[in-house]
Chains A and B, each alone.
Chain A
């Protein structure tokens, strides 16, 4: 649908009501406000409205989080990640011009903005911040005043929000799943052997993750941390390296010959020159743990589309000597493993392409965060999708319905006005959505087609009938 004005980010702010409780000091509540150029009066007014809305809802329910406010022109999502800290995402509702009785008038397309998607986007924004900075309250604790927190928020979100692209968010943002690379037993064991050998030879390494292109092969992190880490890797860090590899989209990948452009292994985070003295800038990450966060250095090494992420205790100081030894250990091994995977990978891509049918699908497993999808034509979140956008919205609707009713198993089938069928299946913690365009099919035929797709794509996974 053509829009006069598309969905866009209007405001994004973080506040804590316990600051600036005196009249005239309301500005102190505000910890971050986007756009930063917004005048202070508007900032105070909007934060005040959010506070009032939340307080009003508390009249009727104790302990239920207030999640969103819908107005004709905006959608506001609320998230309280830590006690007293609220994050607010304000979106402008897209508009379209409709002609009614010969007169053009502006219509706000409120139903195109789906709460579950943008609430997930907001939550993910917090998780990303937390991964690199720790929790809000931890940043406060050390200094008791929010100056440092304000600085960190500003530093992080200024860059983060530019890449947000809220107009292209869809059901995949709800899942934030991880794409796993299926390998045959032998190759998978080779990967695991390398990881084990690495962790034995370098006991400072606490966890390891292994990726090939944008797909995960092995991870020693908790799924929740890996999910946030994975998203950072594939949306921020690796795209620069992978740009050329990804141009063909997620299914038909580039051949090994093409990837040889990046021949030669190197540190993505760490020293750029192993002969120099500068070990480079090494980011720290805050991993979840029962007794507070564990802080680790994140060292990333890459060869032939294979990426190894090493999580090393913060207490360890990283010297050039360490990187040199690491390079000697990994360089050759990773290059040969990378080409071994590439060979198999190209093989499986060829066979997958031949099995391609007209049906598009999304699969997500909450347990290991595994995700598989054919609804996008590329991985760049550019709105390049293989099903109509209104049909894509139905997937998120069906998901919202599952999450609200919380059945352990369930099935939803819908037929749209333009003869698209959408099938959603929930089986324990696995969700599976299929889109089929078929005008004259009936329920039974659609059911058969979904069964066939399950058999070809997910042979060993059980779905309730």
Chain B
């Protein structure tokens, strides 16, 4: 991704460091930007609008999957792209077994009258356009049939007028609806998040479903049977959705649409990357090799011309984080990455590097028959890493407790998040008091959410936002190259806040190569 020069760069000619401030004349703190990034830079706002289901007739046209395959291996039968005939996908024939079941309405009042259920901070419901329950975060779907019916009725009543329901606002509760082709999602939350932010979250949940089924299968199922009970196909996926929702609530990564990298000396990271490349470059159809540890990215190698969207990487991280079974044995699992290609599956070889190394390696391919070659390659990678004592390097980086803000020499700041826009990566120090508790961390993330929402308001994005209230003073700043979100003590002066921002940027700049992956290796 090449950066484009904008008029803003003109401001950045300041030479004198001290006394140059946010949004005044600025010294150049813009991050170093690689010519190409492995991740697609994103503002995370591309997914607001409801999408219509794709026309099945052109499902194969313009497919990333097809392109990766044709690139390197013309012998693979095109049919393999069709998830319905590919061995790893769930068979469409299961659908014919579907029969109407009777549902039990009696338990419903028990649930909706339950104070604990009513006071849950965030409900998420998924249902088909016919009103069939698919998922409920709290309380069994079977006991909420009437509620699902009411939601379906509201959506279709407003839909009949050629309009689309978006949200309902009450004094303390927000209701958000998202209609995605044959299914709809609803969120009921008391968290004071904005409609735009909840919509992004519902889109993540939707992507999680697509990731398990592919869009093609999802569309086809409902074309054949409008009344189909999707839970048959999603057995086991509830866990992924539950986990995704928790991640959305607790991890700044999903808010920022960025990933955090495991901090490593650049030469170490390059050595790891080179070992993976050299062990895999004979294997055709390998699209991505991803090494993750502690929910952070160690390295990512991609097939030339193809990029991973951060939202897809979050789906992958969610899969890894919510599946204990990967630790026990190497696995072969189909996964659809909706931003990469919603129409079909990639096949993932997933394994942890070794019993004594908690990093997880994912090798993603379009070829369903590649399990054994990938398994072999993985063995080679581990051997080489061990010989070069790189497993040790990864382990010690994983064991590092993280850098608290106090070690950065910025006493004015309590915490911050820095996102490099071009590489879709971010870094933040480990939370220190008052944010070390779960409650404190939640409040901090809420504050970041408020900043993020206002700075990225779809109709009216802002350059800078400074918010002072009784608990803290927050500063959010978006430039062409980076986004910075800082939490200060409530009574910080503006001069001190600005000095702190400059110190943070200088520190980031100094350590940029260890904190971020600034190259974009390919096979």
Contacts and interface: CB of A to CB of B under 8 A. Distances in A.
Interface in A91-135: 109-112, 115
A339 B154 CA distance: 62
Interface stretch (A57-65, A139-147, A297-305, A314-322): A57-65
Contacts of B11: 440
B168 A413 contact: no
A72 B464 contact: no
A64 B172 contact: yes
A98 to B, nearest CB: 12
Given A67-B169, A410-B468, A443-B497, A416 B463 contact: yes
Nearest to A413: B466
A66 B469 contact: no
B21 A444 contact: yes
Interface stretch (B159-167, B359-367, B368-376, B391-399): B159-167
Contacts of B468: 410-412
Question: Most B CB atoms within 10 A — which of A62, A64, A65, A70?
Answer: A70
A53 B153 CA distance: 10
Interface string B118-132: 100001000000000
Interface string A310-354: 000000000000000000000000000000000000000000000
Contact of B23 (A52, A66, A442): A442
Interface in B423-463: 450, 454, 457-463
B81 interface: no
Nearest to B189: A60
Contacts of B172: 61, 64
A401 B469 CA distance: 11
Given A68-B169, A440-B11, A394 B460 contact: yes
Given A111-B457, A414-B454, A66 B462 contact: no
A414 B457 contact: no
Interface in B280-329: none
Contact of A393 (B20, B123, B168, B460): B460
B8 to A, nearest CB: 10
Given A66-B170, A70-B195, A444-B494, A414 B466 contact: yes
B175 interface: yes
A103 B190 CA distance: 39
Given A60-B173, A404-B192, A407-B469, A53 B168 contact: yes
Interface in A359-404: 390, 393-394, 397, 401, 404
A447 B25 CA distance: 16
Contacts of B24: 440-443, 445
A232 interface: no
A37 B166 CA distance: 28
A37 B458 CA distance: 37
B469 A405 contact: yes
A416 B170 CA distance: 29
B277 interface: no
A265 interface: no
A357 interface: no
A73 interface: yes
A444 B158 contact: no
Given A67-B171, A443-B21, A415 B494 contact: no
A409 interface: yes
Interface in A47-89: 49, 52-53, 56-57, 59-62, 64-74
A111 B469 contact: no
Nearest to B188: A60
A34 to B, nearest CB: 18
B157 to A, nearest CB: 6
B460 A111 contact: yes
B45 to A, nearest CB: 12
Nearest to A67: B169
Nearest to A56: B150
Contacts of B498: 442-444
A412 B166 contact: no
B23 A49 contact: no
B166 A61 contact: no
Contacts of A62: 118
Contacts of A64: 170-173
Nearest to B491: A465
A62 B114 CA distance: 12
Contacts of B112: 59
Interface residues of B, number: 54
A60 B118 contact: yes
A408 interface: yes
Contact of A414 (B21, B151, B464): B464
Given A57-B173, A442-B498, A444-B495, A415 B462 contact: yes
Contacts of A73: 162-164
Interface residues of A, number: 51
A412 B118 CA distance: 34
B158 A71 contact: yes
B470 interface: yes
A410 B468 CA distance: 5
Given A57-B173, A394-B460, A442-B22, A69 B165 contact: yes
B465 interface: yes
A2 interface: no
Given A56-B150, A390-B460, A71 B166 contact: yes
A328 B517 CA distance: 88
Contact of A61 (B20, B158, B173, B466): B173
B466 A397 contact: no
B147 interface: yes
B467 interface: yes
A412 B467 contact: yes
B163 A72 contact: yes
Contacts of B167: 69-70
Contact of A69 (B150, B168, B462, B463): B168
Contact of B164 (A57, A72, A444, A445): A72
Contacts of A52: 150, 153-154, 157
Nearest to B462: A414
Given A49-B157, A59-B112, A67-B169, A412 B192 contact: no
Contacts of A444: 21, 494-495, 498
Given A441-B24, A444-B21, A53 B154 contact: yes
A53 B166 CA distance: 12
A271 B465 CA distance: 57
A240 interface: no
A70 B192 CA distance: 16
A110 B49 CA distance: 12
Nearest to A61: B173
A417 interface: yes
23 contacts: A52-B153, A56-B168, A61-B173, A64-B173, A69-B167, A70-B167, A70-B169, A70-B195, A73-B164, A111-B457, A111-B459, A115-B169, A394-B460, A405-B469, A408-B470, A410-B467, A415-B465, A416-B463, A440-B11, A441-B23, A442-B21, A443-B464, A443-B466
Interface of A: 49, 52-53, 56-57, 59-62, 64-74, 109-112, 115, 390, 393-394, 397, 401, 404-405, 407-417, 419, 440-445, 447
Interface of B: 11, 20-25, 112, 118, 123, 147, 150-151, 153-154, 157-158, 162-173, 175, 188, 190, 192, 195, 450, 454, 457-470, 494-495, 497-498
| Shortest Cβ-Cβ A-B pairs, 9 listed | A442-B24, A442-B21, A111-B459, A413-B466, A415-B464, A72-B164, A411-B468, A407-B469, A70-B166
